[in-house]
Structure 1
Amino acid sequence: MFSQANDILMIAALFDAAAAIAHLACIAIGGSAFRFLGAGERLAREFEAGKIQPILVTILIAFILFSWSVFALSGAGMLGVFPFTKWILIAISMVLITRALAFPLLKSYFPENSMKFWLISSGICFVMGMAHLYGVMTQWDQL
């Protein structure tokens, strides 16, 4: 029987995996996808020019997001509990929540991103972070 915390962590895992897939889609779709997802004009142009750095950065981000998905599934009891799962889920939560709240400080590094991008992406990061945090806190004794 799944608890609400399990369900929340499974939803968090789906969000993580969806974000990873969205990042990989940039490689398949091209510069317009990099722009749409807010990677910035510079990265989109570098990708279009055939440079390897945007591809490597995108694959790294996707790998991190997929690993977060695996840990969320572990916390939900779907894959068995991995070592340090609760601490890793806490760290994931803090990274996502910090990213969500720190957008005013990050804006100057990505001036081509619109306020709409910052509000939407920060809102998504905040919801994802809170889902991970709620899930791990309510599963604390099982992890």
Structure 2
Amino acid sequence: MRAEPWLIAGGILSAAASLMHLAIIAGGPAWYRWFHAGDKMVAMAERGEARPWIITLGIAAVLAVFAACAFSAAGLIPRLPLLPLALVGITGVYLLRGLALGPLLVWRPHLVDNFILWSSLIVLVYGLVHAIGTWLVWREL
């Protein structure tokens, strides 16, 4: 497989998001608050409960797998099993999360705060990067 810049970029984006989630765990309650994790998550983190860091660690792990799949499809690491299915699933997750903003803006605009708006737009970009990269290497998969 050739090194596909779009998938390399997608892998870097997913890896950065994974590392950011690990930094949130390390940063503690103040970081959960700053990243708008929600009042319940912040409160649990302030009480020292394990649930916020377990959830955040799970998200970080999933994002790390997303990065590995993108890097694998880009030819930077060995080929992972079920790679075509994984790339379609990853792209779908990112695009659906990003595109969910549309219905929210139409039917529940009061739920759209700055966090929802910006995170949706960012994730939509992630999805587009993965979609383009997947499209470009599809025949080689």
Q: TM-score, normalised by structure 2?
A: 0.88
CA distance in 2, matches of 1:67, 1:39: 22
CA distance in 1, matches of 2:33, 2:127: 24
Moved more, 62-71 or 76-85: 76-85
Residue 28 of structure 1 corresponds to: 26
Q: Count residues in correspondence.
A: 136
CA RMSD of aligned residues (A): 2.0
Per-residue CA shift, 1:47-91, capped at 9, x if unaligned?
Answer: 110111101101100000000000000010111222211210110
The residue identity in structure 2 corresponding to 1:94 is G
Q: TM-score, normalised by structure 1?
A: 0.87
Question: Post-superposition shift, 1:2?
Answer: 5.3
Residue 49 of structure 1 corresponds to: 47
What stretches of structure 2 of length at least 5 have no aligned partner? none
Q: How does 1:113-128 map to 2 (within 5 A)?
A: 115-128=113-126
The residue identity in structure 2 corresponding to 1:95 is V
CA distance in 2, matches of 1:32, 1:101: 29
CA distance in 1, matches of 2:19, 2:34: 14
